[in-house]
Amino acid sequence: MTGAPLELVCPAGTPAALRDAIDAGADVVYLGFRDETNARNFPGLNFSRPELRDGIGYAHRRGREVFVAINTYAAAGNQAAWHRAIDDAAQLGADAVIVADIGLLDYAATKHPGLRLHLSVQAAASHAEAIRFYHEAFGVRRVVLPRVLTVAEIAQLTRQIPVETEVFAFGGMCPMAEGRCSLSSYVTGQSPNRQGVCSPASHVRYEQRGEALVSSLGGSTINIFDKAEKAGYPTLCKGRFAVGGSYADYLFEEPTSLSTGEILHDLARAGVKALKIEGRQRGRAYVAEVVRQFRSLVDGMAGGDAPAGAVAALRQLAEGQQETSGAYRKGWR
Amino acid sequence: MSFAERPVRRLLLLPGTRHLAEMLLNRLAGLLARRHAGMLDRLADFAGATCLIVPRDLPAAFLLTLQPAAQPPQLELVDPACVTDARATIRTDLATLLKLLEGRIDGDALFFSRDLMVEGDMEVVVALRNAVDDAGIDLIGDSAAACGPFAAPAEKLGRHMAGMAARLHRRLAITIMGGDTA
């Protein structure tokens, strides 16, 4: 492989996960504040301002970086929390903020011209005209691409845009149009795009019925796992539904994780700058292991070797222990 | 419940035994809360919430009640069959619970593989998981640190005893529960 190695952008839901991710080989850790300004607003998760300050210090002392996700859409007439998040991230020395909301991008570009701006996947910018607009209007330097593009489409796109590209490399699959999905909001009244919660824990129930596990969201049963089945997350897009009198089955997506362990060379050749590992809501043992495996894969690329066992190890960490290369290959076509 | 398990549970839940066990458990909870104050901060919105923690290979369970104003949680030793009003329930084996407490294992993967069972209000379970995962608890190291100048030998002794206890627990579990938990 020629050129700079792929940058590993890794998740942290807590300070302990941040330290573990960096110790395992993350180039960058991304995280959010403890409120609705980020898209992983789960109970007990995320960073206070002092924790962010300490986390940035830990990363910078080791030559690594911290990006702050402020990637939900600000509430009309009540943008103070989002503005405060941008101000505090800038003041505490974040290396970049990841933003989707146009008004918030404008606020950040105007108020903190030196702050590096990345366009969140929540903006769903998937073509050159949209990405060029964000770059020209707000000085966005990197785009996190939606999980709807093939590798060939990414290669074409990177040649047409003046900004870096970051793509999802591993973790939860979101099969919907990101930043536009209202499934969770329809059932629970809370939205990943506004409140930062897809399937909020307060609306999730699990119940053991005999040997079956029943999951419900907002009072509606969304899945029943038999004894021998692997369980999955309680999101509507991974629920089983009976349509037209048929038996209940997965309509949108089975419990599965995105994995790019086998196509990293293709992504590098397509001009991708950075790999994003999903999972700020996951525990630090998971984060450390995924980062360790991806570090070995990326280092192996630079040395021309593919480390044996890394792809298989990642499969064990996947949701439902199933993985897919998703839209990168569109293997269902 | 197996024939051999019933008397062990009865012994554990006798008032004297139970009082002693709860005193030790709550001392430990207080110690961990002092050494990992951020953990309680992450649980501040859940005062009064209860979670039944059922180690499948022990004949009794723990009822955890979160407290207000950064107070350590309270633990009671209970018969799991007699607790019907806990907001959430977590079931797995004791060794897995200890690994989860120390953040050494991925709880979601255990849930996917059905080795960890959760029921009830997931808000409490998720908050607990995140708070504990961040705390960086080291049960032996934290307990030994309370011994002041004797912390280092206490930690060495603790780790040695933990190894012995794990071996004994495996043997007892085979005897009491009639299965192999290794």
Q: What is the pLDDT along chain A (333 residues), one digit of tens a residue?
A: 557 899 999 999 999 999 999 999 999 999 999 999 999 999 999 999 999 999 999 999 999 999 999 999 998 888 999 999 999 999 999 999 999 999 999 999 999 999 999 999 999 999 999 999 999 999 999 999 999 999 999 999 999 999 999 999 999 888 778 888 889 999 999 999 999 999 999 999 999 999 899 999 999 999 999 988 888 888 998 899 988 888 889 888 888 889 998 899 999 999 999 999 999 999 999 999 999 999 999 999 877 766 778 888 888 888 877 888 888 988 777
Whether B173 maps to a domain, the answer reads no
A167 in the Ramachandran plot: left (φ > 0), alpha (ψ -120 to 50) or beta? beta
* Summary mean pLDDT of chain B: 87
- Please check the confidence at residue B167 and state whether its pLDDT lies above 70: yes
Same domain, A274 and A241: no
- Top pLDDT among A58 and B139 is at A58
Q: What's the CATH number where A51 sits?
A: 3.20.20.70
Q: What is the per-residue pLDDT for B180? A: 43
- Would the CB atoms of B133 and A16 count as touching at under 8 Å? yes
Same domain, A163 and A227: no
- pTM comes to 0.91
Same domain, A23 and A132: yes
Q: What's the CATH number where B18 sits?
A: 3.30.1050.10
From chain A, the residues in CB contact with B56 under 8 A are none
- Would the CB atoms of B118 and A206 count as touching at under 8 Å? yes
Q: State the average pLDDT over residues B131-147.
A: 91
Print the domain residue range for A294: 7-173+256-328
Q: What is the per-residue pLDDT for A223? A: 94
Print the domain residue range for B19: 5-139
A317 to chain B: closest CA residue: B109
From chain B, the residues in CB contact with A229 under 8 A are 114
Same domain, A162 and A208: no
Task: Count structural domains, chain B.
Answer: 1
Whether B166 maps to a domain, the answer reads no
Cα–Cα distance between B14 and B16 in angstroms, integer?
6
- Please check the confidence at residue B80 and state whether its pLDDT lies above 80: yes
The pLDDT > 70 percentage for chain B reads 87
Tell which of A42, A54, A198 to mutate to test the B interface (max B CBs under 10 Å). Answer: A42
Q: How many Å lie between the alpha carbon of A69 and the closest alpha carbon of chain B?
A: 19
From chain A, the residues in CB contact with B118 under 8 A are 206
Contact residues, chain A to chain B, C-beta under 8 Å: 13-17, 42-45, 48, 51, 200-202, 204-208, 213, 225, 227, 229-232, 234, 255, 282-286, 289, 316-317, 319-321
- Please check the confidence at residue B90 and state whether its pLDDT lies above 70: yes
Model confidence band, residue B174 (pLDDT cutoffs 50, 70, 90)? low
Same domain, A220 and A125: no
Whether A179 maps to a domain, the answer reads no
Same domain, A29 and A74: yes
From chain B, the residues in CB contact with A208 under 8 A are 117, 119
From chain B, the residues in CB contact with A195 under 8 A are none
Q: How many Å lie between the alpha carbon of A210 and the closest alpha carbon of chain B?
A: 13
Same domain, A206 and A296: no
Instruction: Single out the residue in A213, A231, A250 at which a domain terminates.
Output: A250
Residues 6+ apart with CB under 8 A from A233: A172, A199, A255, A319
Q: A120: closest CA among A12, A175, A192, A22? A: A192
Same domain, A30 and A143: yes
Same domain, A211 and A165: no
Structure tokens, B27:
């001392």
Model confidence band, residue B182 (pLDDT cutoffs 50, 70, 90)? very low
Model confidence band, residue B181 (pLDDT cutoffs 50, 70, 90)? very low
Whether A333 maps to a domain, the answer reads no
From chain B, the residues in CB contact with A232 under 8 A are 112
Residue A207 DSSP SS3: strand
Whether A181 maps to a domain, the answer reads no
- Out of B107, B126, B135, whose CB is closest to A43? B126
Q: What is the per-residue pLDDT for A203? A: 95
Same domain, A62 and A207: no
Whether A191 maps to a domain, the answer reads no
Whether A42 maps to a domain, the answer reads yes
Same domain, A131 and A32: yes
- Would the CB atoms of A317 and B106 count as touching at under 8 Å? yes
Q: How many Å lie between the alpha carbon of B20 and the closest alpha carbon of chain A?
A: 31
What ipTM describes this predicted complex?
A: 0.91
Amino acid A112 reads H
Whether B163 maps to a domain, the answer reads no
- Would the CB atoms of B126 and A205 count as touching at under 8 Å? no
B126 to chain A: closest CA residue: A43
Burial class (CB in 10 A: 0-12, 13-18, 19+), B1: exposed
From chain B, the residues in CB contact with A31 under 8 A are none
Task: Count structural domains, chain A.
Answer: 2
Q: How many Å lie between the alpha carbon of B163 and the closest alpha carbon of chain A?
A: 22
Considering just the CA atoms, what is the radius of gyration of chain A in Å?
Answer: 19
Whether B119 maps to a domain, the answer reads yes
Tally of helices (H runs) and strands (E runs) in chain A? 10, 15
Q: What is the per-residue pLDDT for B179? A: 47
Same domain, A112 and A207: no
- Top pLDDT among A112 and B144 is at A112
Whether A306 maps to a domain, the answer reads yes
* Residues B122-138: tens digit of each pLDDT: 999 999 999 999 999 99
- Please check the confidence at residue B53 and state whether its pLDDT lies above 70: yes
